[in-house]
Structure 1
Amino acid sequence: MKSKKGLVLVYTGNGKGKTTAAFGLALRAIGHGEKVYMIQFMKGSPDYGEVQAAKYLPNFQLVQKGRDCFVKKGNPAPEDLKIAREGIELARDVISSGEYDLVILDEINVAVDYGLIPEEEVLNLIDLKPERTTLVLTGRYATEKLMEKADMVSEVKEIKHHYKKGISAQPGIEY
């Protein structure tokens, strides 16, 4: 196998599919025998399909660092700040270990936007990344600095969404 260059990939925008794209990337990496670690910020429900699927995948670790409730933007609860801090410290340990080929920080962009994590700490994680590790940052509201530092940025733009027809969140589609 050729020597691999780790990248920084950002999936952002107001459309549906950012976590799904990152999970698809994880499946692709696992298919090549790579080790994947995914930390979900601001998510704490075991009902997400990816949490259930992760149990069946080799070389894949998924940890949620959020509560199963909404975070109030601009005024997060102390518990949300504590859990986000645990998540960023876990991310630092996982990335610096060099043990994983792909590290996904799901919803990290939203955690920064909501004030749970300082942008500077995420920028520092990028600097900490080993040469061969790919780091994926997902979520709406990616900052200009994070996008500048990334090797690839994809914006998922909503054109049309079934919510607007009154169709509520469905297992296997939204979660």
Structure 2
Amino acid sequence: MEDSHRAPDYSPSAALTYEPLKRGLTQVFTGGGKGKTSAGIGTAVRASGRGYRVYIVYFMNRAYDSGEQEVLHRLPGVKWAAFGPGLVRHPESPSPEVREKAGQALAEARRAMLSGDWDVIILDEVNIVTGWGWLDAADVVRLIKDRPENVELVLTGRLAPQVVIDSADLVTEMVKIKHPYDRGIPARRGIEY
């Protein structure tokens, strides 16, 4: 008798038959609530499960700065690159190196998007980097406008500029109702990062 509460046994490699994405869109996950990166990573997991090739560009995180990076490289068809300074609060005057890294991350996202090698491109925390002025919003909009028809583009992070929101096909705002940070509880390893 089959146990309906357990996942069926199957070979993941046999289940992954690649078919190019026919129509990609641009998604934005923004807002002050928790779950923006989680939504992006959920998209990566779902896409990987359907055989799509996924490339994630981290604008804030460094290499192996978060729990998801520890496991993402194990998913079929998923790769990532990290350019960020790590978890930081908004600096009043970001250093030229920080701005340069943000520019490098955007250039890498553009290269990957136009390469034909990837079906889904996720720009993690690009919205906040843009909202803080580390990137020009016009450059992010240009990336959205240049998206090939068969590429899904996912932009995460709070403070998404209105021009980015206006350029997207799907926008979800995570609204904070209550957050442990407000009570002084810091981010927890394996839960928030």
How high is the TM-score relative to the length of structure 1? 0.93
CA separation in 2, counterparts of 1:3 and 1:20?
22
Secondary structure (helix, strand or coil) at the match of 1:117 reads coil
Tell me the number of residue pairs that the alignment of Structure 1 and Structure 2 aligns.
175
Match of 1:41 among 59, 63, 66: 59
Instruction: Find the counterpart in structure 2 of residue 101 from structure 1.
Output: 119
Structure 1's 2 and 123: CA in aligned 2 closer, same or farther, altered over 3 A? Answer: closer
Match of 2:99 among 78, 81, 86: 81
Instruction: Find the counterpart in structure 1 of residue 192 from structure 2.
Output: 174
Measure how far apart 1:163 and its partner are: 2.3
Structure 1's 9 and 43: CA in aligned 2 closer, same or farther, altered over 3 A? Answer: same
Identity of aligned residues (%): 40
Deviates more, 1:12-21 or 1:122-131: 122-131
Give 5+ residue unaligned stretches, structure 1: none
Q: CA RMSD in A?
A: 1.6
Instruction: Find the counterpart in structure 1 of residue 70 from structure 2.
Output: 52
Secondary structure (helix, strand or coil) at the match of 2:187 reads coil
CA separation in 1, counterparts of 2:21 and 2:68?
29
Which 4+ residue blocks in structure 1 deviate beyond 4 angstroms?
none
Larger Rg, first or second structure (1 or 2): 2
CA separation in 1, counterparts of 2:39 and 2:85?
23
Instruction: Find the counterpart in structure 1 of residue 34 from structure 2.
Output: 16
How high is the TM-score relative to the length of structure 2? 0.85
Measure how far apart 1:25 and its partner are: 0.6
CA contact (8 A) 2:21 2:52 kept: no
